[in-house]
Amino acid sequence: MARTVAEGFFNDPRLKEAKKLIREALKEHQTKITGIKSADPELKASYDNIIKKVSDYRGGALWYNYLGSGIGNGPLVELADGSVKYDFITGIGVHYMGHSHPGVIEAQVEGSITNTVMNGHLQQNTDTAKLLEIFSTQACKYGAEVKNVFLTTSGAMANENAFKMMFQKRFPAARMFSFEKCFSGRTLGMAWVTDKAAYRQGLPKTIDVDYVPFYDAKDHKGSIEKAVYAMKKAMTRFPGEHAGFIMELIQGENGSWVGNQEYFEALIKICKENNISVFIDEVQTFARTTEIFAFQHFKLDKHVDIVSVGKNSQVCATLFKDDHKPRAGLMSQTFTGSSAQISAAYYVINEVVNGNYLGENGKIMKLHKHFQSHLEKLATKYPDKIEGPYGIGAMVGMTLYKGDAEKSKAFSFKLFDNGVLGFLAGAAPTRLRFLMPIMAVEEKHIDEVVAILDKTLSEIN
């Protein structure tokens, strides 16, 4: 007997049947997508027209001439011009499950037939409880204490919320530490944290940040010394003024630069001695290393005060320790995420932590090694064109044409035309990078992507 009307509705056999039919129809259609394909010439005119319309209405051209048709098959995505491409950038790291994943579609259907489109802090459904619990228990499983979870709708907003909590706790300290070349988002606050002048041109100053040079694997000891020196120098110049340190453990937007445990610990030690909060920005690193959180991969569990997540998690969030709890009034959100999003987020995270993805021998690292070994061979074949590969797990980068921005850009467009979506990151050097849809990728897909990279390298000098 159903105890609520909802229980009766969600267990209605007609819904079960409807979900089965969706699965069947999806499978029948998506299995027609078997490999990369050129555009249908008959669709060209209408496709170009929609691309132009979107560009005009959004007030600027799209980066790639990409508009999805609405269906895909794992790492393959169909565009509205009928072409099929390998998606190895996944909306800059969002479609971790690939395209049209049946489990994710079912989770979204379950969410979307609930009573509301959006959840917010005043009204949420019970699905939210499941999501908060999995975030919290996974984050704290090795001893971290960031058990509180505040949902939000973008990575930048998750970072804003973290900054508010740190500033309130450390008041009147009002400066922040960050890493050189970091990317933290583009809100008015985060534009002043992200270490790129072009992203804040014309904007009024919001946050004072002192930048610390990031880890350099080629100079392990020296880079630790340089970073410690930079921190101490800023603290001497502004005594007692630093509220927190935002740390990206693997710099994604800068081109897949990987940090180091000893390096982070040296900086965290200074934070702890000086009441500076340790904030790990995992918007890009979540679910891409040997652990669900990169701070677990680098064994920083006992040091973290706040963590933000986004992208792969489908819903963004800020996790924080009890002692960083905001006072009433500091934070709220009308939108914490759509019902479909919350349901899909739980599905994806549950799949990653309970499937064979994590660990040194999990799917994430296995695929990385496979990709890496192929790219190393390409680097040997084209020594003047490729350096690398770099990165870890689901984050893979390489320097092309000595990091020349224009040549790398030309390469990325040619690669797109040849059937693979990758993207650029960083400046001096600019890198080409991939954020793989791990849940959908198999080694044979990587082999095909590498063959297309090879072809593209042979075409561009």
Contacts with ligand PLP, residue ranges (CB under 6 A): 92, 154-156, 159, 183-185, 248, 252-253, 281, 283-284, 310
- CB 289, min distance to ligand PLP, A: 14
Cβ closest to ligand PLP, residue 234 vs residue 294:
294
Cβ closest to ligand PLP, residue 280 vs residue 375:
280
- CB 425, min distance to ligand PLP, A: 9
CA-to-CA distance for 386 and 375, rounded, in angstroms? 9
Side-chain-side CA neighbours of residue 324 (13 Å): 28
C-alpha torsion 218→219→223→226, nearest 10: -130
CA-to-CA distance for 54 and 391, rounded, in angstroms? 34
Cβ closest to ligand PLP, residue 128 vs residue 184:
184
- Checking 369-376 for CB contacts under 8 A at 24+ apart, the result is 370/443, 370/446, 371/396, 371/434, 371/436, 371/446, 371/450, 372/396, 374/446, 374/447, 374/450, 375/450, 375/453
The amino acid at 410: A
Q: Which two tokens stand for residue 227?
A: 């970073």
- CB 243, min distance to ligand PLP, A: 18
- CB 397, min distance to ligand PLP, A: 13
Cβ closest to ligand PLP, residue 190 vs residue 271:
190
- CB 278, min distance to ligand PLP, A: 16
Nearest residue to ligand PLP by CB is 155
End-to-end CA separation in angstroms for the chain:
70
- CB 184, min distance to ligand PLP, A: 5
Number of other residues whose CB lies within 10 A of the CB of residue 97: 25
- CB 91, min distance to ligand PLP, A: 10
- CB 200, min distance to ligand PLP, A: 14
Cβ closest to ligand PLP, residue 185 vs residue 259:
185
- CB 331, min distance to ligand PLP, A: 17
Cβ closest to ligand PLP, residue 352 vs residue 425:
425
- CB 402, min distance to ligand PLP, A: 25
